[in-house]
Structure 1
Amino acid sequence: MSEKPQSRQRRKARMAARIAARHLPVGLPPAFFLTDPQRTPDPETIAAWLPSGWGVIYRHFGADGREAVARRLLKLCRKRGIFFLIGADAALAAKIGADGVHWPARMAGTSRKWRGRFEIQTMSGHFGDNPSHFRPFPINAILFSAVFPSRSTSAEDPIGALRFRKLVAALPYPVYALGGVNPDNGLSIAKAAGLAAIDGWKCFGVQTDDEKG
């Protein structure tokens, strides 16, 4: 019997994540799933099948009902042994007991205010950023984009796997590749960085017949 496409994609994603985990510091997940109101309108379906030890970054962008959604995702992540961060909202993260916060680069300085309050704080980074964005903030990792072509409307031109791997060594924090990352290209950067994706992990939101049964 041939392997189903979603199962094959999941296997590739897990393999890439295992490789990434070998060089990331202890306490950091090998891969993050970032939510998006438009592209992943039902993030709980994907989070429910992510491998244990991965991470979810909930980005609510000010949506109504964000606390209720955050609490549901937190409960789900706790049950599955998944790290749970909230994007750009430390107050909500602290209120519900999330594991951490993900900061846009322009807000990275705010991480100082929350030093020691969370297990993980991450920030975004982009090719050509002002070096001041990478000052010694109390940050555990950078999610750097765009590495591959992405459907994100804010994505810049991708730098590609080769340039990205060279860049990682120059950055002062552990790095996750973001932007077009998926099970098919994850192995090309897994030896240099962790993995972060929005659309790329949708394969975990499709249940197989065995899982449904």
Structure 2
Amino acid sequence: MSIYVLDRGRDGDPLDVLDRLSPGTWVILRDYDRLDRAAWARTVAARCRRRRLVLLVAGDARLALRVGAAGVHLPQGLARLGGVARLPLLISAAAHDAAAIRRAMRIGADAVLVSPVFATRSHPGAPGLGPHRLARLLARHRGARGVALVALGGISAATVRRLPPGVDGIAAIDGWSA
């Protein structure tokens, strides 16, 4: 599983990145604070449909439904919202520790983005889990099938080789821009 976390404020044009992604790649639209978020979501949704990408809107299930997205991404603080599991949407959830992974699994998340694995520009100064700690987290939660455990944070061509076995996918922001 591959996931592109789209932050419009990053370097470069994210729509260009969408054109380079393989069909079936998940795209998480994470632009929370944009005044034009609904219009931007419609633009991204149209591009994703043309490219056969799987769009999830971060933190806003109503907007996801309005633009015809396939799902919603829940930041760690919102993964307590069990009601979203009743919607006809895929669910991904952010998790920075074991308790958050368990909460995401309880609400029926289809994918859990475990982060940050390595140092990352989007969270400067935040300590990364590193490959060994990530491996321990994955091993503790491997029993729950049906949920993909995805590595996020500092993922690049160089760091992806350091990921432990058991990672079901990768997610990146800058890693797709190169």
Same fold (TM > 0.5): yes
Structure 2 CA distance for aligned equivalents of residues 201 and 141 of structure 1: 19
The residue aligned with 1:176 is 150
Q: Which of 34, 38, 45 is the matching residue for 2:9?
A: 38
Greater shift, 162-171 or 70-79, is seen at 162-171
Matches within 5 A, 1:1-213: 30-40=1-11, 42-118=13-89, 120-127=90-97, 129=99, 133-134=103-104, 136-153=106-123, 156-171=126-141, 172=144, 173-189=147-163, 191-193=165-167, 194-203=169-178
Greater shift, 94-103 or 59-68, is seen at 59-68
Higher radius of gyration, 1 or 2: 1
Question: Deviations along 1:81-136, whole A, 9 cap, x unmatched?
Answer: 21100000111001111000000111112242442411x10110003656763461
Greater shift, 86-95 or 151-160, is seen at 151-160
Secondary structure of the corresponding residue to residue 28 of structure 2 = strand
Greater shift, 188-197 or 88-97, is seen at 188-197
Alignment gaps of 5+ in structure 2 = none
Greater shift, 39-48 or 76-85, is seen at 39-48
Cα distance change on mapping 1:56 and 1:134 into 2, 3 Å: closer
* Contact 2:151–2:171 (CA under 8 A) maintained in structure 1: yes
Q: What TM-score do the two structures reach when normalised by structure 2?
A: 0.86
Count how many residue pairs are aligned between Structure 1 and Structure 2: 173
Q: Which protein, 1 or 2, shows the higher relative CO under an 8 Å CA cutoff with sep ≥ 6?
A: 1
Secondary structure of the corresponding residue to residue 170 of structure 1 = helix
Structure 2 CA distance for aligned equivalents of residues 111 and 35 of structure 1: 25
Greater shift, 59-68 or 98-107, is seen at 59-68
The residue aligned with 1:27 is none
RMSD of aligned residue pairs (Cα, Å): 2.2
Secondary structure of the corresponding residue to residue 27 of structure 2 = strand
Cα distance change on mapping 1:112 and 1:154 into 2, 3 Å: farther
Cα distance change on mapping 1:52 and 1:135 into 2, 3 Å: closer
Q: What TM-score do the two structures reach when normalised by structure 1?
A: 0.73
Structure 1 CA distance for aligned equivalents of residues 148 and 66 of structure 2: 27
Structure 1 CA distance for aligned equivalents of residues 27 and 104 of structure 2: 23
Question: Deviations along 1:57-104, whole A, 9 cap, x unmatched?
Answer: 001213121112111111111111211000001110011110000001
Alignment gaps of 5+ in structure 1 = 1-29, 204-213
Question: Deviations along 1:152-201, whole A, 9 cap, x unmatched?
Answer: 23663112122212311212442110110112222332742210011111
- What is the percentage of aligned positions where both structures have the same residue? 30
